[in-house]
């Protein structure tokens, strides 16, 4: 473990961290702008060119707001819960491969922080730990709407995690590896979305549900639950939840690209450029979904997840296994 290796690792960690944290305001801006135009509005336009600095201004505003802690809250958990959300989202980014490798200053540098052999399980583990941020946030607020919101969203996340994991299993079967790097390399000739279109659709639906976004944003259904689990949070604590939501969107998008949309593979441009292009396109798609569908009812959501998505994912898995066995 020489010094150059340590420096390289540190720089990569800083880059990915910065990329994720700076990506959040850009995604928020993109969402407001795209959503605005889809709803025949203009969206933010006052602060900076095209309103680009709007989310920065919002961030500064949140930073300087008074940090209100309601009197009957569980003080420790109230402080820890938003942090758990952010940490799990950032941890998940550490296994995402942004490309294969580049040669810089005579060193071959892999474009990822780490390539653990069980990357997909690491991702699922990180997202399953993310549930705690929401459950604890809702519980520690000691208030009815946050508690109900937290219960809703954690039940939803646990239910859809199952179908999500099952949708990723055919990919693992096809590559014979849990490493995201191997999965990316296996798609040089054909993207996995072609043979696994069903799995992709299931993954997509689960990803939207997993990140608690419209049409699955029942956790913060403002007509019923005020703002759900983060009702009592203000200032930077609220901002942390906000960051974690968008960081999670980046994570699920990056996983979708790596597992289904050919990872960093593409003609002419370098791998990381293709990855970024696909990421932006995918985020646009994500926002498009939000603008298109109305919110579901809670029982519909649960029925859909358990009685339709999960069986479908299992059948898809079985069919993939049989086809792979027959082909040899």
Query: Which parts of this chain interact with another protein (CB under 8 A)?
Result: 74, 76-77, 116-118, 121-122, 124-125, 128-129, 131-132, 135-136, 139, 147, 151, 154, 158, 161, 178
Q: 151 vs 198, which CB is nearer to another protein?
A: 151
**N residues, the chain:** 328
Least Å from the CB of residue 135 to another protein? 6
Spatial CB neighbours of 64, under 8 Å, sequence gap ≥ 6: none
Angle between the N-to-C axes of helices 235-259 and 119-140, in degrees from 0 to 180, rounded to the nearest 10: 160
Q: 87 vs 109, which CB is nearer to another protein?
A: 87
Q: Which helix (H) or strand (E) holds 131?
A: helix 119-140
Least Å from the CB of residue 128 to another protein? 3
Least Å from the CB of residue 95 to another protein? 12
Q: 24 vs 147, which CB is nearer to another protein?
A: 147
CB 219 within 8 A of CB 298: no
Q: 163 vs 279, which CB is nearer to another protein?
A: 163
d(CA 161, CA 182): 23
Least Å from the CB of residue 34 to another protein? 33
Q: 27 vs 218, which CB is nearer to another protein?
A: 218
Least Å from the CB of residue 87 to another protein? 12
Q: 25 vs 165, which CB is nearer to another protein?
A: 165
Both structure tokens of 167? 């949708």
Q: 142 vs 234, which CB is nearer to another protein?
A: 142
Least Å from the CB of residue 116 to another protein? 7
d(CA 90, CA 102): 23
CB 111 within 8 A of CB 98: yes
* DSSP letter string, 247-283: HHHHHHHHHHHHHTS-TT--SSS-HHHHHHHHHHHHH
**Pairing between β-strand 101-104 and β-strand 107-110 as defined by DSSP bridges:** antiparallel
CA neighbor of 137 nearest in space, from 262, 245, 230, 11: 230
Least Å from the CB of residue 285 to another protein? 28
Q: Which helix (H) or strand (E) holds 313?
A: helix 310-327
């Amino acid at each position: 473990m020489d010094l150059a290796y340590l420096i390289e690792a540190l720089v990569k960690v800083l880059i990915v961290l910065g990329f994720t944290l700076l990506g959040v305001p850009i995604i928020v801006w993109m969402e407001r702008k795209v959503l605005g135009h889809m709803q025949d509005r203009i969206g933010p336009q006052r602060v900076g060119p095209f309103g680009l600095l709007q989310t920065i201004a919002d961030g500064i505003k949140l930073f300087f707001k008074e940090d209100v802690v309601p009197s009957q809250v569980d003080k420790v958990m109230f402080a820890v819960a938003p942090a758990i959300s952010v940490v799990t989202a950032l941890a998940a980014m550490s296994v995402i491969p942004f490309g294969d490798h580049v040669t810089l200053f005579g060193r071959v540098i892999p474009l990822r922080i780490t390539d653990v052999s069980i990357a997909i399980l690491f991702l699922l583990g990180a997202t399953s730990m993310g549930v705690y941020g929401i459950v604890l946030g809702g519980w520690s607020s000691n208030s009815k709407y946050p508690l109900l919101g937290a219960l809703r969203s954690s039940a939803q996340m646990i239910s859809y995690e199952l179908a999500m994991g099952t949708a990723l299993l055919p990919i693992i079967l096809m590559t014979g590896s849990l490493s995201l790097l191997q999965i990316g390399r296996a798609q040089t000739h054909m993207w996995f979305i072609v043979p696994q279109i069903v799995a992709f659709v299931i993954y997509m639906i689960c990803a939207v549900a997993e990140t608690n976004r419209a049409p699955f944003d029942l956790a913060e259904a403002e007509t019923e639950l005020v703002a759900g689990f983060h009702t009592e949070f203000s200032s930077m604590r609220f901002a942390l939840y906000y960051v974690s939501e968008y960081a999670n969107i980046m994570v699920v998008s990056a996983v979708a690209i790596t597992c289904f949309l050919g990872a960093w593979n593409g003609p002419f441009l370098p791998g990381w450029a293709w990855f970024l292009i696909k990421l932006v396109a995918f985020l646009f798609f994500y926002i498009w979904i939000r603008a298109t569908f109305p919110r579901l009812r809670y029982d519909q959501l649960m029925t859909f997840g358990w009685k339709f998505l999960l069986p479908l994912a299992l059948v898809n898995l079985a069919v993939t296994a049989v086809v792979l066995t027959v082909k040899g």
